Amino acid sequence: MIMTKSAAKSLMLPAAMAAGALFYRWMGYLTFLSPYLIFIMLTITYCRVKPSEFRPKRFQWHLLSVQMALAAVAYFALVTWDRTLAEGVFICVFIPTATAAPVITGMLGGSISALATYSLLCNVFVAVSGPVVLAAVGEHPEMSFLQSFLIICRNVFPLLILPIIAALGMERFVPKAHAWLVRRQELSFYIWAVSLFIVVGSSVSFAINRFTPGSAMTMVLLALGALVVCILQFAAGRRVGHHFGDTVSGGQGLGQKNTLLAIWIALTYLNPIASIAPAAYVAWQNIINSWQLILHERHKHQVLGIRH
């Protein structure tokens, strides 16, 4: 039996995640590739977007309000019971949208420009407010506001801004290459599969290296807490998005997180064990993304089958 292209794509993401978990010991040799893969994916994706579409609207402000409200509720609901758990769950909500989120949004048929605009807005808000919030919530506020702001900007903004500049530059100076990428958007899917292999493997390696018998129960609770808020954020985002006619962008805007930045913040400001929550969040959000992509591919295949 010959496997169809649609079926192969449906299996690719779960296979990439399983392979990453299996070969986690070797991820240290590959993690340096992640920002480059994200840069390429975003450049391909942004070739579909016009500059005039990057404007915050009520949709983005509503998403940001919901995100910050959920972060506050998560922290204060848990802090009197277990501060480490509260910190881990809080950072999974407070952290901004992943830079790669527009790629998945485009694959799922959502508005790339709406999600990219929210990603930029959310990252700016966290960069500005983060040092103040984390100084109040965290346990290690050694860094000044300016130091924290500059580190967050250095880690996040290049991957937000440079792909937009690259896409616009290609449209202006190499229009044939730009047009070719516009027609080859599925390349992002295959690059994402490679990126997923690396990210999941790195997260498994991180969690195993942090494991100690005395912290086992706390780590389990952090992983479960990350699962709960992951589901809640995707659901809340889709609900907000439904109100504004873009369910996909809403779900990805709140649900898909910059977990590498979250891990760094947890290690810098919070109890280091709290970093297990964003590490686990990597797996949860990518399981949800993979499931969504599989359903989307099956739906497209069914629609094409009906038309033919």
Tokens found for residue 238: 């889709």
Tokens found for residue 267: 């290690």
pLDDT for 224 equals 95
Model confidence, pTM = 0.76
CATH number for the domain spanning 81: value is 1.20.1530.20
Tokens found for residue 293: 């992509």
Amino acid residing at 138: G
Q: Give the integer Cα–Cα distance in Å for 170 and 184.
A: 15
pLDDT for 57 equals 87
pLDDT for 169 equals 92
For residue 231, is it within any domain? Answer: yes
SS3 257: strand
CB atoms within 10 A of CB 144: 11
Q: Give the integer Cα–Cα distance in Å for 132 and 112.
A: 31
Q: Find how far residue 196's CA is from the centre of its chain.
A: 11
Q: Give the integer Cα–Cα distance in Å for 74 and 93.
A: 8
For residue 59, is it within any domain? Answer: yes
Distance linking the first and last C-alpha atoms of the chain: 21
Q: Rounded to whole angstroms, what are the CA distances from 174 to 7, 43, 47, 144, 188?
A: 35, 14, 12, 43, 20
Classify residue 130 as exposed, middle or buried by CB count within 10 Å of its CB (0-12, 13-18, 19+). buried
Q: What share of the chain is helix, strand, coil (3-state, %, to 5)?
A: 85, 0, 15
CB atoms within 10 A of CB 299: 11
Q: Taking a C-beta distance cutoff of 8 angstroms, is the pair 185, 106 a contact?
A: yes
Per-residue pLDDT tens digits of the chain, which is 308 residues long: 445 555 566 677 778 878 888 888 888 788 888 788 878 887 887 787 777 766 788 999 999 999 999 999 999 999 999 999 999 999 999 988 887 788 788 888 888 888 888 987 887 788 777 767 776 776 555 666 677 667 666 766 677 678 888 888 999 899 999 999 988 877 877 887 888 788 778 878 877 887 777 778 888 999 999 999 999 999 999 999 999 988 999 999 999 998 777 877 777 677 878 888 988 898 899 888 888 888 877 767 665 555 55
Q: Taking a C-beta distance cutoff of 8 angstroms, is the pair 196, 16 a contact?
A: yes
pLDDT for 1 equals 43
Instruction: Count how many domains the chain has.
Output: 1
For residue 308, is it within any domain? Answer: no
Q: Give the integer Cα–Cα distance in Å for 135 and 124.
A: 18
Tokens found for residue 174: 């190499």
pLDDT for 109 equals 85
Domain that holds residue 179: 5-301
pLDDT for 229 equals 96
For residue 292, is it within any domain? Answer: yes
CB atoms within 10 A of CB 196: 24
Q: Give the integer Cα–Cα distance in Å for 227 and 229.
A: 6
pLDDT for 5 equals 59
Q: Which residues contact 279 (CB under 8 A, 6 or more apart)?
A: 203, 206, 207, 210, 259, 263
Q: Taking a C-beta distance cutoff of 8 angstroms, is the pair 284, 226 a contact?
A: yes
Relative orientation angle of helices 112-137 and 34-46, to the nearest 10 degrees: 140
DSSP summary character for residue 185: T
Q: Give the integer Cα–Cα distance in Å for 31 and 196.
A: 11
For residue 306, is it within any domain? Answer: no
For residue 307, is it within any domain? Answer: no
pLDDT for 21 equals 83
Q: Which residues contact 265 (CB under 8 A, 6 or more apart)?
A: 91, 95, 130, 134
For residue 155, is it within any domain? Answer: yes
Closest CA to 204 of 280, 145, 275, 147: 280
